[in-house]
Amino acid sequence: MGKFRFLNADEIECRVAQVSKNGSLMLLLYKDARVDQRILDETLGIFGWQREHQIIGNNLYCTVSVRNPETGEWIRKQDVGVESYTEKEKGQASDSFKRACFNLGIGRELYTAPTIWVNKGNYNESTNREGKTTTFDRFAVKSIGYAENGNITQLEIVNTNLNKTVFTFGTMEEKPLSKKDLTILINTWVSAGGTEENLLSFCKVQNKSEITPSMRDKCIKALRDKEDGK
């Protein structure tokens, strides 16, 4: 069983972690549980993984088991959850699941992200209940690039409220998709009713070996928009 693919740009979310004294915002990157479920289904199929929760002490733990398609062996990873501010049990369940998936390697590349500061003036200022500066603007990852080992080499973040790029890191030197990622894309595209020929046409390439991560991201977005009826 090989590694799970790296996260696409639109699978990564941003949240404000803190505001410095000079008014700069620090952002953190994270994934939600639906992304983990999608990648597990995509890589192993719906019969290739399972999850279970148990209380140990006063904490809720999640065990995610994945089946090696080559040997049939089940591999298990476990981690504990932290409750959310809104829904205690649901927050712990979701958090423990996401942490267990990190242990499997899904989204582990996020740990290599640079420190992300958004300067004052690149967001709409608001005040929280404690009277401290914050913002209710939304931020999104527009593009991301990885080295072969998963380290983030390029990152661009936009403020969607202002429609403005507010953070950049590195340069995008895209390499074609790996054979494994290409196979996953083709299978996903075909299962949605497409063909390899119109996949090439959509990506505007002559050969499937020319498809890059950013092209893959656009394909996946197009499929999701189709499912949502957009």
pLDDT band of 132, cuts 50, 70, 90? confident
Q: State how far the Cα of 113 lies from the Cα of 151, in Å rounded to an integer.
A: 8
In the three-class reduction of DSSP (H, G, I as helix; E, B as strand; rest coil), residue 22 is classed as coil
Mean pLDDT of 9-26: 93
- For residues 105-133, give the mean pLDDT: 91
What is the DSSP secondary-structure string of 76-114? EEEEE----SS-HHHHHHHHHHHHHHHHHTTTGGGGGPP
CB 89 within 8 A of CB 51: no
What are the φ/ψ torsions at residue 139 (nearest 5 degrees)? Answer: -120, 145
Phi, psi of 128 (to 5 degrees): -85, -175
How would you class 15 by CB atoms within 10 Å of its CB: exposed for 0-12, middle for 13-18, buried for 19 or more? exposed
With pLDDT > 70 as the criterion, what percentage of the chain qualifies?
93
Helix, strand, or coil here: 168? Answer: strand
* pLDDT score, position 213: 82
pLDDT at 229 over 80: no
Supply the pLDDT for residue 1.
Answer: 46
pLDDT in tens, 149-193: 889 999 999 999 999 999 999 876 667 888 888 999 999 999 999
User: Model pTM?
Assistant: 0.71
For the cut 90, the answer to whether the pLDDT of residue 79 exceeds it is yes
Mean pLDDT of the chain: 89
Q: Compute the 3-state secondary structure of the chain and give helix, strand, coil in percent, each to the nearest 5.
A: 35, 30, 40
Confidence of residue 131 (pLDDT cuts 50, 70, 90): confident
What was the pLDDT predicted at 173? 63
Rounded CA gap, 144 and 31, in Å? 14
User: Model confidence at 89, in pLDDT bands (50, 70, 90)?
Assistant: low
Domain boundaries, the chain: 1-31+107-172, 46-104, 179-227
